[in-house]
Amino acid sequence: MYLQIHHFSHCMLLTVLLGLAVDVTSGVISIQLIPQYPVINGSVTLSVIGITGEIEYAIWYKGPGQAPQYRILTYFPGSSSSPLVPGPLHNPRFSPFNNGSIQIKDLLTTDGGNYIVKIQAEKQEDAIVTLTIYEPVTKPKITASITQPKENETLTLTCDTSNAVAIRWSRRGTSISSEARFSNDNKTLTFSSIKRAEAGQYQCEAQNLVSKDSSDPYTVSVTYGPDNVKIQGNMDTAYVRPGFSITLTCSADSSPPPEYLWRHNGTVLEGKTKDYVISAAMHKDEGTYMCTVKNPVTSRIAAVSVYLNVTAEYIGTPEGSKELGMTIGIIVAVVLLLVLIAAIIYLFIVHKRRKSSNDSNSNMKGSSRNGQADIPTQTAEQHELQYASIEFNKNKPRNEQKPEAIYENRSPQGAPPATDNVVYSELKLR
């Protein structure tokens, strides 16, 4: 029973409180700014909402309270004659409306502040609003602590603008180096040791609630060098034939571009460009050519030299000699390889022939051992004999003999033939 009574009392209390809340909030007026962020030289309407019933009058104040000295105007919407009663702070730029609202034209920064309205309708109600007049951001402009920073120097870029609540930096074509540092309000960008790779075009953008604008691109040029000075690809020796022309080109990594000075065997030459041209070389043009470069900002100086040969004989550059040596080496290697292949083929053929010859001899010897005449071998040997010359003995007279007698005299089984019946000859083997 106690729990039921306790629960009922809580429900009644909640219902009473909700009723009071509805009664209090209903009919409570407020002021809305249109637009929400009014801009200087523009206009704004202080619109009153939440009014219940027909308005009898509306009084507007500007200031901390509702004292007479803070009154702007009093407006009677239902009055047919003189509905507007100006107050001490009235200005023709203020225009009242029948719904209790007012509009302010041609806004000035001094128009900002607290505005209070007192409305008499079914009941009298008050409302207050704070008016802030915004100014567009001024066009940003980038300034640099050093106009021509040298490499490894400290450079600070500042985004000069007004009325900005946020500033953002960017670099055209790429991102900003991670080594760069921003201030807490992003107004400055600092390079503690700027590098040549950080050169480029930078911009800053400023914005607030009512506007935004970007600066013109600012070009950061980092001066450096001269570095990596060379003549015609850093050759140690240049070559030209008599009567021919040659151009010696000097180059260097430098910003801004360097100044050039040429010397021949120590003598300063005319012309201060990167190219030195010899139109028709003579032997007097032979010697050492030196190119000296100077950066006009960093004041750094560097030099490089090359020896020029004026001769009818070809003198290759180290690079050309290297390439020629490689070519000759390849040719020699190919020739040696061909010779080796030919030698192997020759040895193979000789070995094959010898093997065939040995096999044939072995067969023939075997036949002789079996009691057979070695006729093929003899025949081959007879064919291999070549007579170089035959000289006949013509000193002694030749006797007439019958063929049978001659044949008998030549028989290996008979006695040697008589000397006067033999034709002498001399056989010379080739």
What is the assigned CATH class of domain 224-318? Answer: mainly beta
- List, for residues 159-179, the tens digit of each pLDDT value: 999 999 999 999 999 999 999
AA letter at 274:
K
- Respond yes or no on whether the N-terminal peptide bond of residue 296 is cis (omega within 30° of 0): no
Segment 273-289 shows an average pLDDT of 93
Phi and psi at residue 320, in whole multiples of 5°? -65, -40
pLDDT digits (tens, 9 = 90+) for 34-83: 999 999 999 999 999 999 999 999 999 999 999 999 999 999 998 878 89
Comma-separated ranges of CATH 2.60.40.10 domains in the chain = 28-131, 141-220, 224-318
Amino acid occupying residue 396: K
**Rounded mean pLDDT of the chain?**
81
CA 225, distance to chain mean position in Å, is: 21
Assigned token pair, 425: 């000859």
Instruction: Give the mean model confidence (pLDDT) for residues 88-101.
Output: 96
pLDDT digits (tens, 9 = 90+) for 173-230: 999 999 999 999 999 999 999 999 999 999 999 999 999 999 999 999 999 999 999 9
Q: Which residue reads 């980092």 in tokens? A: 222
Query: Is there a cis peptide before residue 68, judged by omega within 30 degrees of 0?
Result: no
Nearest Cα residue to 183 out of 202, 159, 164, 154: 159
Nearest-10 Cα torsion for 414, 419, 422, 424: 120
Q: What is the pLDDT of residues 343-386, one digit of tens each?
A: 899 888 888 888 777 766 655 555 444 444 444 444 444 444 44
Q: Residues 234-256: pLDDT tens digits?
A: 566 778 999 999 999 999 999 99
Q: Which CATH number applies to 141-220? A: 2.60.40.10
Residue-level pLDDT at 427: 42
Chain segment 292-329, per-residue pLDDT in tens: 999 999 999 999 999 999 988 755 544 455 555 677 88
**Between 424 and 44, the higher pLDDT residue:** 44
**pLDDT computed for residue 362 by the predictor:** 58
Does domain 28-131 match CATH 2.60.40.10?
Answer: yes
